[in-house]
């Protein structure tokens, strides 16, 4: 009999002699399993849009021209919105990245005409001041936006021109919001006249001139090969850039 067998035999003999030695003393449980309620404080996530009226929204892809590599690089994909402030009436364009909601484009519509992208009827390009760099640095960069269909691209063009006209009138102090005209008409008594029984003259028409002409945008010095590389927008190609949460803006909103 080896040592292992001897140990087993001794253990069996001891267990037979004292059966209670096999009982295991249970530990007393003093844990509290009562469900505890924790107060949750709701934090409001202000995206700066609660004081604005959405005018238009459509999915798009945004690109920025890289002067070093001479190619368009994708900034992000998401919903493109035109938002008008309820008090100042200025209109801005905002594009947020899908899921992360990082701001990829955010600036007031400037007095800058859109330029059709060569080789594509679904994309437009323009220039504005880019503040997305490090620190407070800013530089004039070219941006492009592409839509799924030609109809959506044309609709974007109309919205841009309308917003551009509104912002120009606001800057010159000649803009009157349509709601203000309605309120003024509602507050004016119907008996007002010139004293001779004739009705007062109609208010000044403050609608912007749809046929107004504007000078073409200056050609950027760093876009010498943009025409050769812009065709990549139509095919959806382009190099991905880092997910930069900083907004690209000419004039950032709230």
What per-residue confidence (pLDDT) applies to 246?
Answer: 38
Q: For domain 52-175+218-240, which CATH number applies: 2.30.29.30, 2.60.40.420, 3.40.190.80, 1.10.3720.10?
A: 2.30.29.30
Tell me how far apart the terminal alpha carbons of the chain are, to the nearest angstrom. Answer: 88
What per-residue confidence (pLDDT) applies to 37?
Answer: 82
**Is the alpha carbon torsion for 76, 82, 84, 89 positive or negative?**
positive
Q: Which residue has the higher pLDDT, 38 or 217?
A: 38
What per-residue confidence (pLDDT) applies to 231?
Answer: 46
Q: State mean pLDDT over 80-93.
A: 95
What per-residue confidence (pLDDT) applies to 23?
Answer: 59
Is the pLDDT reported for residue 205 higher than 60? no
What per-residue confidence (pLDDT) applies to 81?
Answer: 96
Cβ neighbours of 112 (radius 10 Å): 16
Predicted confidence band at 253 (pLDDT cuts at 50, 70, 90)? very low
Q: State mean pLDDT over 148-152.
A: 95
């Amino acid at each position: 009999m080896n040592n292992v067998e001897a140990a087993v035999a001794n253990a069996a003999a001891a267990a037979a002699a004292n059966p209670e030695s096999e009982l295991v003393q249970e530990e007393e449980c003093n844990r509290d399993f009562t469900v505890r309620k924790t107060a949750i404080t709701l934090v409001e996530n202000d995206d700066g849009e609660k004081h604005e009226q959405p005018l238009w929204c459509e999915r798009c892809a945004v690109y920025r021209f890289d002067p070093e590599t001479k190619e368009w690089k994708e900034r992000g994909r998401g919903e493109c919105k035109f938002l008008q402030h309820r008090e100042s009436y200025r209109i801005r364009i905002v594009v947020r990245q899908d899921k992360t909601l990082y701001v990829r484009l955010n600036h007031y519509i400037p007095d800058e005409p859109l330029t059709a992208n060569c080789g594509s009827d679904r994309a437009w390009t323009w220039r504005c001041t880019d503040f997305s760099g490090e620190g407070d640095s800013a530089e004039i960069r070219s941006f492009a936006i592409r839509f799924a269909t030609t109809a959506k691209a044309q609709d974007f063009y109309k919205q841009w021109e309308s917003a551009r006209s509104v912002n120009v009138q606001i800057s010159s102090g000649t803009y009157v919001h349509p709601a203000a005209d309605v309120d003024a008409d509602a507050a004016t008594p119907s008996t007002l006249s010139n004293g001779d029984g004739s009705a007062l003259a109609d208010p000044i028409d403050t609608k912007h001139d749809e046929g107004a002409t504007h000078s073409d945008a200056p050609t950027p010095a760093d876009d010498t090969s943009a025409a050769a590389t812009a065709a990549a927008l139509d095919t959806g190609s382009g190099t991905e850039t880092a997910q930069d949460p900083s907004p690209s803006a000419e004039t950032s909103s709230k």
